[in-house]
Amino acid sequence: MLNLNRRQLDRNFNPLRHVTAVQTGIPNGGWLKTIRNALGMTLEQVATRANVTPQSIVKSETSEVQGTISLNTMHHIAESMECEVIYFILPRANLEKMVDIQVQKKAQAMMRVISHSMTLENQEPTPEAMMEQLEDLIEQLRHDIKTKKNISYIWNIPE
């Protein structure tokens, strides 16, 4: 079920991957002020519509630029200007790929521990045997991910 959710999220994210903050260019004054000015609204007009003081609007516009505005405040002021806030976290890569990369990292870390123990016991396997064991471990982890609900253990990498 977790795999299905991940794949569905990936499908939803795909059309959004080309729309990033860098490409849309967040305005220097922030979205609230930029949209307010584009609509030709004064601080007082937005404040009246939002049922707050003009000083609250200035504070909200400033905190948006500083990155400290709350989503509730952003939604409230945007609503007063007949706008909506669209908020989401967009993974830098496909979620399935991110999980698979982590599986490989987890398997490699596990192999380092196994290899170290075997070296201490003078039982170091050949590089070919280690590679084969690594591939088996990766496949086992991939299988676990398909069958288990909790896969958080793959993100714990021993040092």
Q: Is the pLDDT of residue 21 over 60?
A: no
* Residue 68 vs residues 43, 75, 93, 158: alpha-carbon distances, Å: 20, 14, 26, 35
Report the percent of the chain where pLDDT is more than 90.
53
Q: Which residues contact 37 (CB under 8 A, 6 or more apart)?
A: 29
* pLDDT tens digits, one per residue of 22-81: 556 788 999 999 999 999 999 999 999 999 999 999 999 999 999 999 999 999 999 999
pLDDT at 118: 64
* CATH tag, 18-80: 1.10.260.40
pLDDT at 108: 92
Residue ranges of domains in the chain: 18-80, 95-155
Indicate the SS3 state at residue 150.
coil
